[in-house]
Amino acid sequence: MRDLRQLYHQDYSAWAEASAELLRAGRFEHLDIEHLLEELSDMGKSEQRSLESRLRVLLAHLLKWQFQYSQLADRWREFDGRSWRNTIIHQRTELKILLRKYPGMQRLWSAAVQAAYADARELSAAESGLAIETFPLDCPYAESSVLDDHFLPATESSD
């Protein structure tokens, strides 16, 4: 068998397959531990990036719903926020699937909401054209509400 360290750089798929075979056979002394640990660490980081990315989009749409919906509905009678609502539904569904597949991500939830909110605030301002100061500095939504299928924030004019 070729050196796994070299194989890692030449053919990642072959490296992964060979590593899996060695693990199944219990031949741990032949494993490329350095790259195996790197890959395992990156898998966790990838899922965390996915969690934060989906939260960023969801929170941005919740913010736009709250702070821009009335403004657009007043201007365009046919505006009903359907595309925003669909995005909210889609992101909630994807987040629930992610958390179900990787239950350990639950421990990252609070930090992920806070990290994603700062970016969601900037995204909302950029997409809506509203001043960033329009949006609260801290996330205005209870963490339990973020994934609640029945939750939509009250629009600015209904406050």
Domains of the chain by residue range: 1-31, 45-158
Q: CA distances (Å), 80 to each of 27, 86, 101, 129, in order? A: 60, 11, 33, 19
81 in helix, strand or coil?
Answer: coil
Rounded CA-CA distance 77/153 in Å is 20
Rounded CA-CA distance 134/67 in Å is 8
Cβ proximity of 71 and 158 under 8 Å: no
Mean pLDDT of the chain: 88
pLDDT one-digit tens code per residue, 50-65: 999 999 999 999 999 9
pLDDT at 125: 96
pLDDT one-digit tens code per residue, 17-27: 999 999 999 99
Secondary structure E strands in 18-107: none
155 in helix, strand or coil?
Answer: coil
Mean pLDDT of 73-94: 80
pLDDT at 1: 45
3 in helix, strand or coil?
Answer: coil
pTM for this entry: 0.75
